[in-house]
Structure 1
Amino acid sequence: MNDVVASNIAANVATATNLSVAPSVTSLAISTQIESELPSSDDSSISKPQIIQVSSATRKISSYTVAAGDTTDSIATRYGISSQTLKWANNLTNDNLKVGLVLDVLPRNGIVYTVKDGDTVQSIADKYKADASMITTYNDLEISGVSTGLKIIVPNGTLPNTEQPGYVAPVAYRAASTGGSYYSGYRAGSVGNRYAYGNCTWYAYERRAAMGMPVGSFWGNGGSWSYSGRAAGLLVNNIPSYGALLVEVGSPGHVAVVESVAADGTVVVSEMNNSAYGGFNIINNRTISAGQASLYQYVH
């Protein structure tokens, strides 16, 4: 089969199946046809429209065995990807690595996805905020498309909150009321929660317990939780991660729980008793830009 025939078949299939890359494949077929009709002695050249080409060697998922001193950041930097991509690919909920652990390393930022029944390239792109044509090209799907069970890489894909490692659905808490007015003060939400009901610390204690990441019962006001967390032996830094406690230092300060961190560094937190979102006993989510997020302390 010569190049002209092959490119025409590819164009016909792409058009018939309504692939997003059909225009590019068709253009390539036309250029191939034109080039084949040029005299062999003609020195003129034609620049053919191309689908984005990526060396197959760069598209393989590799493995890495954790050595002493390794961190998610150092490994990610070595392979030219983000630490978030590394953690998502290995279902890591934090930055703690055990020596000898074998990690999957993606060739670029994004996620690994196993195609499910009913999926299309476009539906996958929409769900993970990615580009459909890039998914098609990167995984050589121009002819075959996607099929159930196929494992693909979604370049620059972002996991939704519900699919991020360690995700636990938020629990709705409701205060008791008398005559339509809510009361404040101590109320045990779970064993060990000694914080004032309706406050940020009460909610943070409950949320972390639900995530399997319990905190102390007597860490004080929200503004002191980074100090208390460090004293308890937990990692405290300025790097957000799923489940970490975002601390606004001060008196009384504030504490929230990180629900997700996007590939661009944008952070979503859940919290209670934020006056800007309803105040006492109100649970809300809010989004924080990457630049702003880096200004807070995080207890992991």
Structure 2
Amino acid sequence: MIRMTIRQLEYFQAVLETGSATAAAKVCHVSQAGLSAGILQLETALNIQLFVRQKSRNLSLTPAGRAFSLTVQSVLQQLQELEDGAASFGHAVSGVLRLGCFESLSPTLLPRLAGHFTDNFPDVSLRFFEGSPRAIEDDLRSGRCEGILAYKQHVSGGLVYHSLGSHPLYIALPPEHALAEKDSINLDELASYPHVLLDQEPISTLVTNLLREHGAHSEPLLTSRSIETIRSAVARGLGFTVTGVRPPNDLSFDGLPIVYKPLSDGGQVREIVLCTMPGVPLSRRLTEALEFCKMLVSHTSL
């Protein structure tokens, strides 16, 4: 006989996602006392302690709680899919699509994905989470989202990888640059030219290491966390930049032209993947997102 309830599992998951009983109670629309009682009943039903109670009222997982959290994520996702399937009888796709995305990929992928679902699957609500590879991977492992879009080389092992396609790194140059007329550019050719750097990990470390390996030891003339600032700096002739994303419009934010050239170094092709947790089946909405993103990557110069 099953002694734990779905509501208790939801309380547990809410604490994981918010980090405190107070915030979790608000998310679950229940009093803090009611949530705490539900967690205690869950521990009694399982005969294990899930959380360490602290004077600050924060809750931290015990080793048993940490192991249990991986199972809860899978169970709740499958229950959600079961509920969505029953509610959407006669409809193709419905429910809430919670998707994480590496922040440098999101401007190219997420708006078009949102448009696709809005036009074709209006019963799907979208929740996007953007950030660094580590941040969105944490979102996936905690159950905050059901899949993440990232470069395969930037996420850790233990996940299920669904390949969307691959593309090279690009060199962005001002039109008057001495190398702007070449079909492709080798990193060795860039050593003597000034560069600007997007200050976002992991691309900043990747680019810095690549340039140093090929003889460019000077510091960047300018760094910024904004891709549009970097693009504008390139367009104004401050230096080249190495980028993993090529926007469809080769203009800077202030309307100046930029030239993009692929790196001729064959080892710089990067694979884009949709990652999911092992043992968790893909929902119909996530399957639709996967197929659309495959098409998008294959037809877009990311």
Greater Cα radius of gyration, structure 1 or 2 = 1
Calculate the TM-score normalised by the size of structure 1: 0.25
Higher helix share: 2
Structure with bigger RCO (C-alpha 8 Å, 6+ apart): 2
